[in-house]
Amino acid sequence: MEELTSIIILTYNQLKYTKLCIESIKTWTRSPYELILVDNGSTDGTVEYLKSIDNAKLITNQTNLGFGKGINQGIRAADGDYILLLNNDTIVANNWLENQLRCIKSQPEIGIVGPRTNYAGGVQGEVKGDFRNLDKIMDFSNKFNQPDPGKWFQVKEIVGFCMLIKREVIERIGLFDECFTHGMWEDNDFCRRARNKGFKLYCAGDTFVYHFGSQTILGNNLDMRQIFLMNKEKYEKKWNISNAISKTVVVLGMHRSGTSMIAGVLSKLGVNMGKNLLGKGLTNPLGHFEDQDFINLNVEILEAAGGSWDSPPARETILKQKDKFQNKIINLVNNKPEIWGWKEPRTSLTIELYLPYLINPYFIVCYRNSQTVAESLKKRNQIRIERGLELKEIYEKRIKVFFDKFPDLPRLPLNYEEVTTDPEKWVNIIIDFLKLDVSEEERQKAVSFILPNEEVHRLAKEFEN
């Protein structure tokens, strides 16, 4: 007899998304499954719709019990050999379950599997595509979901929007911790407990599940920032995570001020600067060390505020974008390595939107001779010298206002000319500032990465040729 998968969906209003999700399951799921629907006090007709679904197990709560309690109710009612938690704001496509089942059955040590997606933190959520309407979503998903075990890879955590779990995992580690409220960090906690018991976690990279993202939280006017910070605090307290270990390193500074050089130094010292990095170029022959995901989000924020990197919106206008972008920021900065960071000069304008969601942030601020910056902008971007000087002043004033508002944040100002004159001194200062535990080999690689201007210009000419 073929094994059974129990698909558990938790609902709290947002009927239109729930309908899309359930209809896609009915259309595209070939493996044996049972549907377990847990409603947390919906008032928009969701319960009536759920009652109309044949052969589904329905659990209705009078009030919103939260994600953990609701999911645990579903797990207790499940008869499957595998438990699959699925957010109600997802759309599945061909092979979505079959590919994940093949992955989880491929090794006895694999206990939890999840798909790729367009909207989630970590490596699962880096998929880009044309998702403008349902037809395009389905076309993309069905093309993506071709079985290919070569695309499976081990991960540290699986995001809870779609999580396939062997029953053995639940039997050994127990249910979800119900101390977490409304659906954040309980998946991190569950995965950590599974890893501690020796289970492996895998992403089925041949599977894509579309995710609208945080619709229950946003649609019910729940405070995502408050939920995130409250549950993060619970998670860190439960696992005794010290801020001395976890760090977020943010490099600030005007374009052409040496931010790429400092980001490269951090990378050599073992700080994870991202995966989706810009490649080398004529103006940065050693590499930008700049995460494309942060570029995309910062561009989107500035455009929403009516500006761009070279036409900066007013600070107050950027701050008004907080509610619009908080869920995207949370997904971008969540599920990162213990010591990670990013460099993207536009962040000098948008950093206040990111700050509430950063764990133990450290800031390195890059400065460079104003005339040199302006001349470099003229050469690279055809910006007039006068405008280049104005832009540099705007960026540096925004940085000053930020630290005037948050004076206790740890920050290290660096001058490009001083760093390139004495690389060893400044690499040691960076190591001490960040309290990094690095090998002598890593330290020397960081020192060697800092080149004098004439050497950088020579490499740029070679790159051009």
Rounded-to-integer distance, Cα 149 and Cα 105, Å: 12
Flag the least confident range among 9-18, 42-51, 238-247: 238-247
67 vs 73, which has greater pLDDT?
73
| pLDDT at residue 204 in the model | 98
Helix segments in 113-246, DSSP class H: 134-144, 167-173, 186-196, 215-219, 224-238
Tens digits of per-residue pLDDT, 350-392? 999 999 889 889 999 999 999 999 999 998 899 999 999 999 9
Flag the least confident range among 86-100, 272-286, 298-312: 272-286
Torsion of CA 402, 362, 154, 331, to 10 degrees: -20
Helix (H, G, I), strand (E, B) or coil at 47: helix
Whether 247-464 and 5-238 are alike in CATH topology: the answer is: no
Tens digits of per-residue pLDDT, 183-208? 688 999 999 999 999 999 999 999 99
Please report which helix (H) or strand (E) contains residue 201, including its range: strand 200-208
CATH number, span 247-464:
3.40.50.300
Burial class (CB in 10 A: 0-12, 13-18, 19+), 132: exposed
pLDDT at residue 465 tops 60:
no
For 163, phi and psi rounded to 5 degrees? Answer: -135, 115
pLDDT at residue 279 tops 70:
yes
Sorting pLDDT into bands at 50, 70 and 90, what band is 463? very low
What is the rounded average pLDDT of the residues 5-19? 95
| pLDDT at residue 225 in the model | 72
| pLDDT at residue 1 in the model | 67
Rounded-to-integer distance, Cα 254 and Cα 349, Å: 10
Please report which helix (H) or strand (E) contains residue 101, including its range: helix 96-105
What is the rounded average pLDDT of the residues 453-463? 56
| pLDDT at residue 213 in the model | 79
Sorting pLDDT into bands at 50, 70 and 90, what band is 335? confident
241 vs 429, which has greater pLDDT?
429
| pLDDT at residue 181 in the model | 76
Flag the least confident range among 78-92, 154-168, 267-281, 288-302: 267-281
| pLDDT at residue 455 in the model | 63
Distances in Å between the alpha carbon of 268 and those of 8, 167, 263, 414, 436?
44, 42, 9, 18, 12
Helix (H, G, I), strand (E, B) or coil at 404: helix
Tens digits of per-residue pLDDT, 117-148? 998 877 888 788 999 999 999 999 999 999 99
Flag the least confident range among 121-125, 266-270, 297-301, 461-465: 461-465
Helix (H, G, I), strand (E, B) or coil at 349: helix
| pLDDT at residue 226 in the model | 78
Q: Which of 272, 316, 308 is nearest to 156 (CA)?
A: 272
| pLDDT at residue 224 in the model | 72
DSSP line for 209-268: -EE--SHHHHHTT--HHHHHHHHHHHHHHHTT--TTT-EEEEEEE-TTSSHHHHHHHHHH
Sorting pLDDT into bands at 50, 70 and 90, what band is 242? low
CATH assignment of 5-238, among 1.10.3720.10, 3.30.450.90, 3.40.50.300, 3.90.550.10: 3.90.550.10
Flag the least confident range among 32-36, 280-284, 346-350, 382-386: 280-284
| pLDDT at residue 205 in the model | 97
Domain ranges (residues) in the chain: 5-238, 247-464
Q: Are 450 and 419 in contact (CB under 8 A)?
A: yes
Helix (H, G, I), strand (E, B) or coil at 58: strand
Task: Compute the mean pLDDT over every residue in the chain, rounded to the nearest whole number.
Answer: 91
